[in-house]
Structures are given as structure tokens and as C-alpha cells.
Chain A
Amino acid sequence: MTALLSVQELTKLFGGVAAVDRVSFALPKGKLTGLIGPNGSGKSTMINLISGLHSPTRGTVQFKGQDITSLPPHRIACLGIARTFQLLRLFGDLSAFENVLIGAHLRGKHGFAAACGGPLLTGAEERRLHDLAREALEFVGLGPRAGVKAKLLTSGEGRLLEIARAIVAEPELVLLDEPAAGLNSAETGVLAEKLLSLVERGKTLLLVDHHMSLVMNVVSSVIVLAGGRVLTIGTPQEVQADGRVIESYLGSGEIYRRHRAKREVSEH
């Protein structure tokens, strides 16, 4: 099992406070790995560090054996890493289809010079990009919504659109930042299905979430962060059995609330 991405001793300080503290892990190629942890444990910061939106204070990120630490985001995207955003960052004024078409940027080649030649020079490539975009949109089930402006989509549709936009360029690694946030259980089910079929196609995924149910059902291994550090790494079963994990969530009140909610339901 070869590591597609490996992170060593990655540290990010924000004004002296470590959001991520000496984190090391490796993502096996072709697998879906979960990254969980209570709020403020550094999950989103990790994604930002890997995708180049933040540059780490210390430590390195390697992708396919190449050092990508502190490369600008577009260079990292070029190498085959795509991501989605926890707070949707869709191109609101553009249609769903156009959003995905822009996502296919890296699959095209023509620049301004060719563009000036019009359809004569770019037609063939444009048709190919349109096909790719349509395919990706169909894949996430948004085919019928292609012409709708992104800002008019429901939040569930928005999440799926972010995924379509991220995968249309056929990246090797997709970083998904809380893709299930705000989805109902039916939508979460659909999402899980899509993620598994991406893995079947050979993609490597890193899934950030605190929807434990989604993570535990689909991932092959889980990295647990707490307070910016790796608490444990293991299979979903191992992690669920680990007292420290429950404790870290308890500290943040997360599982405790859920636990109590369940108990109240059963008591009635």
C-alpha cells in the first residue's frame, strides 16, 4: 500500500496559537480516509494547509513523492489535488453547469491567444470540456439543475455541486471539507454512495466530517484530531472503541449531547 500523500510534523501557528501541531499521517492511494475531531481540532486548517491556502509554519507535505509544502494553490491543483469548502464557495452568479465547466479548467489547454481565434481554434476542446462538465454534473445527480444559478440552489445541491466542480478535472486526491454539513439523512445517503463510487473509480479521498455516521460507514481508516494533534489513527472499529476519542468529543460536548438526546428519547 503506497502513500499518495504524506504529511510530516505539520504545524500551523495563528498568532502564537497552534491550530495544527506536529501532525503526521499518510493517505493510502485509492482509499477513503476520514479526518474527524471536535470543533476547533484543526480539521479545516489541515485541508487549507494541504491545498495551499495556508502555508505551514513548520513541517512538510509530500504528494506522490514530491514536496508541495507552501506551493501556491493553483500549482497544487495542477498536480492533482482538488477540494471542496465547508462554507460553500460556489460562483454564485454563474449557472451550475458553468461552475463545473470552470472546474474543468485544468483539463483544457487553450489560452488567450487561441481564444482570440474563436470556435475555429477552440471548438473541439470546448466540446470535450462541455461533455466532461455534463458528465460530472450527471454523476452527482444535478443534471436537471444545470441551468440554475448556483446561488439559487438548495444547500444540499450546493454541496453536490462543489463535489462535481472538484472532481470534473479528474484529480487523484479529493479533499472534502464537511460535505455532509446541512444535509438531511436521505441526502447524506446519496452522498455516501457517490463517495464510494469515486473510490471505486480509483480516487483517493480525504473526508473531513463530524457526522460520525457518514464517516464510520464509508471510510477504510480514520485519523482523529484533537486540539490540533493526532489523537489516534485506525480503522473505524478501533477508533470507535477508543475511550480517548469519546473523551475528546465529550470535552467539546458533542457526543454527550447526542448521547443525552438518545437517552431522553428512550426514556419517553
Chain B
Amino acid sequence: MAHRNTTLTLAAVAAAIVIPALSGNGYVIQVASLAAIGAMMAVSLGILYGHAGQLSFAHAAFYGIGAYTAVVLHTQRGLDFFLSLLAGAALAGLAAFVVGLPTLRLRGNYLAIATMALQLGISEVFVNAKITGGSVGIFGIVRPAVFGISLESPAAYYVLLALAAVLVFALAQFIVHSRPGRALAAVREDETAASVIGVDIIRYKVSIFTITAMIAGLAGGLFAYQLEYVSPESFNLDWSIAVLSMVIIGGKRSALGAVIGAVIVTIVTQLLFSMGELQFLVYGLWIILIMLFLPDGLVSIWRTSYRKVREAGS
């Protein structure tokens, strides 16, 4: 059974990589690419919020730091592509580490508002700083060639994105099911009990804030080369909220759910694009409706129906 599940999973992953890449349909490739990026973000925020219990509205800020860093280093300074991506992740992590120490002492609603202010503050830096190209952003980004393979075509670049998403997914699984991952679950459930077991609460909170910010930074760097330009609107509070909605739709503690949430939200936002000025109105309604009807995520539907099936069977 377990063997069959593994085979099925591998087959599904392979299909998710190969089918859009070979579809030859530019729109499909673009949506799939954005979904892969969204999945990385949602999986990362899923660990931070769902697993470790630390709500953050600042994920888009770290995503932006990763994006600008990668673009400045690779496109403008000619540093190796992968090194630039890693530098972006590292800088996002560094920023998270620095602000995390004072911010993560806060809990609950206080943490939510503080991270929201952090997000808006960093957005402000993106808009006002010189190196980011201000509110205009940076244009003229060209997708690189790595190991002699050109990633210029969206399909080729999608394969890179999908592989990165798989890597992030695997990392998330490893982290959650490890000793530090369990310590985080303990922090989420009961900080006092966790501390007397020997868990250094602040250290673990700051660590996971930093690690998930690094993943966001990586996703941001990859995103910059998907879109081929960067501007502050891509990294604002709206994106943080969208990622949170992916996590909630997926059922907050399920990494697979986060991926499904990312796919759904990406498709919906892409569909809304064609609505012009109305898109944010409909988007707002969509968010309200999804919270009204699925406050515990898709996983809850699956679990209830699974239970019903089991009860009917017994």
C-alpha cells in the first residue's frame, strides 16, 4: 500500500512537471509557473504559521528581498544565476533574523499587526530605494542558461520552477518530521510546556522565521526571472494575504493542501486578470466566500467525507 502510494505520488509529480512543460500552451505554462512559485510560498508559510503557530503577514517582503537581490546580483552585476538566487535567499533570511528577534517575542494579534507593519515598511523601502528602481522597478531581466541549458523559453524555466517547488516540498516534510520540527509543534501547542522540556522557544521561533523567509527569498528570486521584471506591486501586503489564503484553503497544516491552495488561488487570480478594474472587487468577494465556506480548508472536507465513508463501511 505504502509502496503504491509512493509510486502514485512520483507519477503525479512527474505529470505535474511534464504535462504543462510539453503542452506548448503559453497560458498554461504561465499559470503553472506562478502556481509553482505560489506553492513554494504557501508551503513555507504553512510551516511558519500552520506548524509553528507564528502568524506572519510579512512573507511577501522577504520574497521581494530575494527577488531584488537576485536581479541586482545576476542581471546587473553578472554574478552566477544560482549564486544570486542563494544570495537572495540568504539576504531575506538575514533580514528575517534581524527583525525576528524583537518581533517574535510578540504573540497572537500583536504578532499579526507587527508583521503587517513590517510588510508595509519593507514595501516602502522597495518603493523609495534607488537600488530597487523605485516604484518603476527593474526591467530587462533575461532568463539565464544553466549548465549549458538555456532557460529562456517559459517551458524550460517552468521545469526549473517545478523542480524547486519539489525541493521545497521535500525540505518542508523533512523539517516538520524532525527533532526541531517537533520542537516547533510543541511551541505551537504550549510554550510553557515546551520550555520545561528544554526547547529554547525564542531560538526556535527565530530559526523557523529565518528559514521560511529564506524559502520565500528563493521563490522571489525565481519569480523575478519568470516575470522578467520586478516592481514593488509584486511584493506588497496583497501577496502576503494571498499566500495566507492559500495556506488556509489547503488546511494550514498540510503541505499537500498548501500546494493545492496555491494552484486554486493562482488559477482564480489569473482568471480575474481579464476583469480589469473589477478584479479586486471580485477578488475581495472570493476571499470572503472562501473564508465563509471553507474556514478550515479543503482538507476538512476530505477528512469529513473520509470519516463518513469509514463509518458507512464499518
Contact = CB atoms under 8 A, between A and B. Distances in A.
Chains A and B bind each other: yes
Interface of A: 51-53, 72-74, 76-78, 82-83, 85, 89-94, 98, 101-103, 105-106, 108-112, 114-119, 122, 125-126, 129, 165, 169
A101 B171 CA distance: 21
A85 B191 CA distance: 13
Contacts of A77: 195-198
Interface string B158-194: 0000000000001101110011111101100110111
Given A74-B200, A77-B196, A89-B190, A101 B182 contact: yes
Contacts of B198: 74, 77-78, 105-106, 169
B247 to A, nearest CB: 17
B178 A110 contact: yes
Contacts of A102: 182-183, 185-186, 194, 197
Contact of A105 (B170, B189, B192, B197): B197
Contacts of B173: 118
A116 B174 contact: yes
A102 B208 CA distance: 17
B189 A94 contact: yes
9 nearest A-B residue pairs (beta carbon): A115-B178, A77-B198, A91-B189, A73-B195, A89-B193, A106-B198, A118-B174, A108-B179, A74-B200
Given A51-B196, A91-B190, A105-B197, A98 B178 contact: no
B197 A103 contact: yes
Nearest to A81: B196
Contacts of B208: 112
Contact of A115 (B180, B186, B192, B201): B180
B211 interface: yes
19 contacts: A51-B196, A52-B195, A72-B200, A74-B198, A74-B200, A77-B195, A77-B197, A82-B196, A98-B182, A98-B185, A105-B182, A111-B179, A111-B180, A112-B178, A112-B180, A115-B181, A119-B174, A129-B179, A169-B198
Given A93-B189, A94-B185, A110 B199 contact: no
A154 B197 CA distance: 22
A165 B197 contact: yes
Contacts of A109: 179
Query: Residue among A90, A105, A110, A129 with the most chain B CB within 10 A?
Result: A105
B183 A105 contact: yes
A119 B111 CA distance: 33
Given A51-B196, A106-B197, A169-B198, 16 more contacts: A53-B192, A73-B195, A89-B193, A90-B190, A91-B186, A92-B189, A98-B185, A101-B182, A102-B185, A105-B199, A111-B180, A115-B174, A115-B179, A115-B180, A116-B174, A116-B175
Contacts of A78: 198
B207 interface: yes
B52 to A, nearest CB: 12
Contact of A112 (B170, B175, B185): B175
B178 A122 contact: yes
Contacts of A112: 175, 178, 180, 207-208, 211
Contacts of B192: 53, 73, 89
Given A89-B192, A92-B189, A93-B189, A169 B179 contact: no
Nearest to B171: A116
B289 to A, nearest CB: 28
Contacts of B186: 91, 102, 105
A117 B183 contact: no
B214 to A, nearest CB: 11
Nearest to B211: A112
A202 B166 CA distance: 49
A81 to B, nearest CB: 8
B193 A85 contact: yes
B180 A74 contact: no
Contacts of A169: 197-198
Contacts of A119: 174
A174 to B, nearest CB: 11
A90 B182 CA distance: 14
A112 B189 CA distance: 20
A74 B199 contact: yes
A129 B195 CA distance: 19
Contact of A122 (B179, B199, B200): B179
A112 B298 CA distance: 29
A90 B185 CA distance: 12
Contact of A74 (B190, B201, B211): B201
A74 B195 contact: yes
* Of listed A78, A91, A109, residue having the most chain B CB within 10 A: A91
Nearest to A117: B174
Interface in B209-231: 211
A228 B185 CA distance: 36
A180 B183 CA distance: 28
A101 B207 CA distance: 21
Contacts of B175: 112, 115-116
A80 to B, nearest CB: 10
Nearest to A122: B178
Nearest to B208: A112
Given A112-B207, A116-B171, A90 B193 contact: yes
